[in-house]
């Protein structure tokens, strides 16, 4: 069984990657900035390597005796002085250099769906710069391109808790979000497959209004939605790009663009957003 290094082990996807990798019988090494951050993972990790992808001198030996690297390294918010270029591109490039130096057989990288449509966004530019470097590296690789995660849909659940969900346009933009567990399955399956890129979403395609209704239903509340003109999002996007620094507008431009775009990929997986919402409500309100 291949020895697998999981980078980004403490993120939303990282927890599912750790669990599924161990479930399949692989020896797991987890890369983390702090060993204490893995204490709640609930998975028996074979090895923990403490290092920071933005500091290449801390990565010496991280991929030694490893067969496969799976990287879920990335940031949604630019903070602590770190940008998308620092983490999504340079951090992964540092990890790739260690993988090449150690003779890693395969590198699996988690990017995002429809990067070609979103190529003008700062976060996408950083991710795709690394993808190009990975594909040119000569290492056998797979680029995983999932749609938005179930965890991203929690914004609908939080709005529903407050009594009203706001949607753009008529709420009819489409998306098929996917669970972290299903994405982890695809990442692990990619180890033995030859496809260099895998694009997919979850099993069910929903409008934003339908997602809002699922959130209200999970809470046992009557649905209430307010529609916001798409033109408002475009004006807001122009303003934040013009009057705020990149570290501020980067996450906002991504969010505003994605929620006013149809984001649908080939259907994959089995997990249900309805069940995810209900589990979240049950967990927070026993």
DSSP assignment of 175-197, as one string?
E--B-HHHHHHHHHHGGG---SE
Give the model confidence (pLDDT) of 72-115 as tens digits: 999 877 666 788 999 999 999 999 999 999 999 999 999 999 99
User: In which residue are the tokens 């939605």 written?
Assistant: 225
Nearby residues of 41 by Cβ (< 8 Å), 6 or more positions away: 9, 10, 15, 18, 30
* Structure confidence at residue 78 (pLDDT): 62
**CB contact at 8 A, 79 and 47:** no
Asked whether the beta carbons of 24 and 188 are under 8 A apart, the reply is yes
What pLDDT digit, counting tens, does each position of 178-220 carry? 999 999 999 999 999 999 999 999 999 999 999 999 999 999 9
Kindly report, residue by residue over 7-44, the tens digit of the pLDDT: 999 889 999 999 999 999 999 999 998 887 776 666 78
Residue 40: the pLDDT is 62
Per-residue model confidence as pLDDT tens digits over 151-162: 999 999 999 999
Q: What backbone phi and psi angles, to 5 degrees, belong to 69?
A: -110, 130
Other Cβ atoms within 10 Å of 45 Cβ, number? 18
Average pLDDT, the chain: 93
d(CA 230, CA 41): 40
Confidence of residue 237 (pLDDT cuts 50, 70, 90): confident
Model pLDDT, residue 3: 95
pLDDT the model gives residue 153: 97
What residues have CB less than 8 Å from 75, skipping those under 6 apart?
82, 84, 87, 88
What is the C-alpha to C-alpha distance for residues 188 and 19, in angstroms, rounded to an integer? 11
In terms of pLDDT, which residue wins out, 237 or 213? 213
The 3-state DSSP class for residue 32 equals strand
Work out the percent of the chain whose per-residue pLDDT is above 90: 81
Q: DSSP letter for 262, please.
A: -
CATH of 3-147+179-201, one of 3.40.190.10, 3.10.20.30, 3.20.20.80, 3.40.50.720: 3.40.50.720
Contact 106, 68 (CB under 8 A): yes
Please state the pTM of the whole predicted model: 0.93
Strands (E), 20-164: 27-32, 47-50, 68-71, 106-110, 140-146
Higher pLDDT, 53 or 233: 53
Top-confidence range, 39-48, 128-137, 229-238: 128-137
pLDDT of residue 79: 65
Comparing C-alpha atoms, which of 89, 58, 189, 68 is closest to residue 139?
68
Q: Helix H segments across the chain?
A: 12-23, 84, 92-101, 122-135, 154-162, 180-189, 208-219, 230-243, 246-258, 273-284
DSSP 188-240: HHGGG---SEEEEB-S--EEHHHHHHHHHHHHT----EEEE-HHHHHHHHHHH
Question: In angstroms, rounded to a whole number, what is the distance separating the alpha carbons of residues 75 and 163?
Answer: 30
Q: Which residues of 128-160 are buried (b: 16+ CB within 10 A; e: fewer)?
A: bbbbeebeeeebebbbbbbbbbbebbeebbebb
- Are residues 62 and 51 in contact, defined by beta-carbon separation less than 8 angstroms? yes
Q: Which helix (H) or strand (E) holds 4?
A: strand 3-7
């Amino acid at each position: 069984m291949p020895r697998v290094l999981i980078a980004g082990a403490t993120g939303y996807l990282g927890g599912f990657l750790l669990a599924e990798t161990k479930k399949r019988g692989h020896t797991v090494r987890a890369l983390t900035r702090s060993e204490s951050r893995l204490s709640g993972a609930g998975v028996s990790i074979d090895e923990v390597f403490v290092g920071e992808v933005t500091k290449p001198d801390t990565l010496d030996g991280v991929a030694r005796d490893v067969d496969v690297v799976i990287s879920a390294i990335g940031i949604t918010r630019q903070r602590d002085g770190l940008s998308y270029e620092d983490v999504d591109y340079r951090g992964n490039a540092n990890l790739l250099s260690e993988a090449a130096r150690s003779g890693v057989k395969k590198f699996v990288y988690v990017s995002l769906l429809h990067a070609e449509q979103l190529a003008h966004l700062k976060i996408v530019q950083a991710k795709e710069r690394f993808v190009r470097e990975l594909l040119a590296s000569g290492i056998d690789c797979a680029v995983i391109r999932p749609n938005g995660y179930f965890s991203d849909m929690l914004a609908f659940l939080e709005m529903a808790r407050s009594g009203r969900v706001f949607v753009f346009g008529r709420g009819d933009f489409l998306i098929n979000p996917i669970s972290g567990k299903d994405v982890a399955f695809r990442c692990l399956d990619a180890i033995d497959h030859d496809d260099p890129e895998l694009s997919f979403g979850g099993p069910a395609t929903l409008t934003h209004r339908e997602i809002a209704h699922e959130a209200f239903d999970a809470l046992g509340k009557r649905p209430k939605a307010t529609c916001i003109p798409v033109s408002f999002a475009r004006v807001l996007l122009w303003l934040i790009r013009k009057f705020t620094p990149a570290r501020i507008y980067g996450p906002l431009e991504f969010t505003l663009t994605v929620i006013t775009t149809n984001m649908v990929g080939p259907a994959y997986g089995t997990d249900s957003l309805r069940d995810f919402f209900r589990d979240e409500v049950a967990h927070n309100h026993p």
